[in-house]
Amino acid sequence: MKSQMLGYRSSIVWFLLIAAMLFHLSCGARVPPPGPGENEPPIYICVMVHMEGVSYSAPAFYARHVDWLRDAMVLFDDAAYQGAKLTIESRREFAIADDAASGGLEFLQEVVTNGHGVGTHCDFAYLGGTDYVDYVNNLIANKTLVDARVGPDENKGVSGIGADIDWAGAAADAGFCYVNGVVGKHYLPMDAAYLPTGWTHAELNDPTNPKGHKTAPVDLRHRIHPFPIENADDFYPDSPGRIVVFGGGLGPLYKAADYDPRTGVVGCGGVPPTATDPCELDMDDIDTAEWKIRQAIAAHAGSPAFAKIEFHLPPSTFTQTISGTFDYDAELRAFLEMVAGYVVSGDLVWATELEAFEAYQRATGWSCP
């Protein structure tokens, strides 16, 4: 009877502990990072900023974004944030504007000098019917412009190239070693059998359909563990492969809560975003981003493989209505403080996209052809 009573009391204690933990989570209180398991390497975390758009031909527009990102580097460099890093990925317009010979500030070289990263962002390949040779030449043209700013050794990765063409082979032919920022558009060259369940090529070709910019591959465990491929026929690893699928995307930080996968709620505060009233970075996004990070940690649990995640931030995240003060200062600091906790626990480690790729090479022995 006594042992039965002890067992009953023990059950009550466990019930109360679990209930308290669930209440703690439901109230939004932060749960300590779990810490990595034995023989489980940390996950590399990267933040990419895409410098895209034709407006960089206007000197004032270009200079304003440079000012914002200089302040962003100062913010990320704060020692409290445990080595936070940015990777600035440039489309051709920004690289042209950045040339000192054209009155530019050579900001991309400044980024590298200050310990952050640079890459190429193309974002021109979404139209169908692109000729493969023209496509490769476009990639080379964009890469050459960024190479001229920082050198080819600092510019090995490319984003924004999803299209209905062999983007993997084309990127390799253009001299890139890895593709990051991998999204639904990268499924376009693949046979229907290799598309995620319920997805169609028509949806991916529809610029209004959000599936085109969903992070890919869709399976999280698959997505956070990079792998080499020979071509864009599928997302299965090839040996040795010509280029590395180096995604790990957890989506745009400022849209993290637009669709909250925990609740199914669409939009900010339940209000769907529109073209004229888009969702902006807020604390709900930071909360959802942390949930996504914990999901990635759980997906990596027990794996000795190299793992990487990334978030996307547009330059507008660093807007300053009052010069020298970020409009989203509290949200940015909350994100960096949150990630710092996972770095201290050993779950995450900050890196530029290139630093993470070089760590992948050391871990796997893969060499860029």
Could you read off the pLDDT of 146-161 as tens digits, one per residue?
A: 999 999 999 999 999 9
Asked, for residue 339, whether it belongs to a domain, the answer is yes
**Residues, the chain, total?**
369
Question: Count of alpha carbons within 13 Å of 311, Cβ hemisphere only?
Answer: 27
Q: Write out pLDDT tens, residues 185-202.
A: 999 999 999 999 999 999
What pLDDT is attached to residue 128?
55
Is 72 inside a domain boundary?
yes
Do the beta carbons of residue 168 and residue 190 sit within 8 Å? no
Grade residue 335 by pLDDT with cuts at 50, 70 and 90.
Answer: very high
**243 sits in which H/E element:** strand 243-245
Proportion of the chain in helix, strand, coil states, percent, rounded to 5:
45, 15, 40
What are the strands, taking DSSP E only, across 66-172? 87-90, 117-121, 157-159
Question: Residue 4: what pLDDT?
Answer: 41
In CATH, what number is assigned to the domain containing residue 238? 3.20.20.370
In the prediction, which pLDDT does 236 show? Answer: 97
Is 29 within a domain? no
pLDDT of the residue at 255 = 85
**pLDDT above 80 (res 16):** no
Report the alpha-carbon distance of residue 24 to residue 358 in Å, rounded: 40
pLDDT band at 258 (very low <50, low <70, confident <90, very high): confident
Does any domain span residue 313?
Answer: yes
Q: Is residue 83 in some structural domain?
A: yes
Residue 3 forms part of a structural domain: no
The answer to whether position 19 is within a domain reads: no
pLDDT exceeds 80 at position 333: yes
Q: In the predicted model, what is the mean pLDDT of the chain?
A: 87
CA–CA separation, 290 and 30 (whole Å): 9
Q: Lowest mean pLDDT: which of 38-42, 117-121, 167-171?
A: 38-42
The confidence band for 18, taking pLDDT boundaries of 50, 70 and 90, is very low
Sign of CA dihedral 185, 273, 311, 112: positive
**Is 279 a member of any domain?**
yes
The predicted structure's pLDDT at residue 271: 52
How many independent structural domains does the chain possess? 1
Question: What local confidence, expressed as pLDDT, does residue 26 receive?
Answer: 42
Which domain covers residue 234, as residue numbers?
36-364
The pLDDT of residue 260 = 61
- List CB contacts of 26: < 8 A, sequence separation 6 or more: none
